[in-house]
Amino acid sequence: MTLVKQACVKVAGFEDFHKRLSRKIRVAGKSDSTLNCYTRHLAAMALHFECMPTELDMEQIEEYLELMLEQHDTPSESYFKFVVYSLRFAFKAEGLDYKRISLPAIKHEKKLPVILSRDQMRRLLRVPVLLKHRVLIGLLYGCGLRCMEVRSIKLSDIDFDRRQLHIRQSKGKKDRYVPLSEMLCRGLKAYIEAENPTTYLFNGKPDGQAGGDFDSRYSQRGVQWVVQQACKAAGVSKEVSVHTLRHTYATHLLEDGLDIVSIKELLGHERIETTMIYLHVAKNGRKAPFSPLDTLYGVKA
């Protein structure tokens, strides 16, 4: 039983609260992942104190946040952030004076991203045995995609004639187009012909069960596993995540001479400051957007 279901059963009033909060979150235009994240943290608090999270006073909230620090030693920024944000949203949604509750500010660690060299990227693209995995890594790096974006690609999103990929309703509910490398187009065509995917480019099985609906998306864990296994096989010892390939995409484009504004647009960032976190040098002059897969193998000068 999930935390939310446990809270609905064990904590009086939580089920109705969950329904109200779900409606508020959707009306606010937030994603299902935000809904799940907020309600999971609020359910954990409700189960811990055996009461509604909106009934907590400041001392109890501080006690809970301190407990999070003790249990997780140094909890990740995103984990601690959503504990705080879910509380703020809950108080506001219930019409309570959330401003009087002085929740602690979140300190953002200023860490530089891990970037792979061009040689490491070549090895990473070469080692997967399955064409599916090579194409997956090629899309993550060659188009600078987030994990959710690569999982959500539908066959109808690929435009081979214009060599573009349509990223639909990504972070911030924004659409964007990114260029497809000529090499990636060839790989995609070969993969589609061999595997014959249906709705999604990368189909998966629900809950890992055989015989399921193959119109489901490839799982997040599956994408992470592909990248991790490729890193092992390629002898890449850096701490690499799926998002590392997106950072590498942006950095290689910068090194190839593409300007910072175009990179911001390709990444789908809302603010230029976000792009500047890991792009250290912006060269002058604008070029038409292109994929770093072209320059990686000398296809484009």
**Count of CB atoms situated within 10 Å of the CB of 211:** 7
269 assigned to active site = yes
246 assigned to active site = yes
- Catalytic pick from 171, 176, 205, 300? 171
278 assigned to active site = yes
- Catalytic pick from 40, 48, 176, 243? 243
> What's the CA gap between 237 and 200, in Å, rounded?
32
SS (H, E, C) 182-222: HHHHHHHHHHHHHHCCCCECCEECHHHCCCCCCCEECCHHH
- Catalytic pick from 41, 133, 246, 252? 246
171 assigned to active site = yes
- Catalytic pick from 85, 98, 177, 278? 278
H or E element that contains 9 = helix 3-10
Task: Give 113-118 contacts, CB < 8 A, sequence gap 24+.
Answer: 113/243, 113/244, 113/247, 113/277, 113/278, 114/238, 114/239, 114/240, 114/241, 114/244, 114/247, 115/244, 115/247, 115/248, 115/251, 115/278, 116/236, 116/238, 116/240, 116/244, 116/245, 116/248, 118/252, 118/296
- Catalytic pick from 41, 132, 134, 146? 146
Catalytic residue numbers read 146, 171, 243, 246, 269, 278
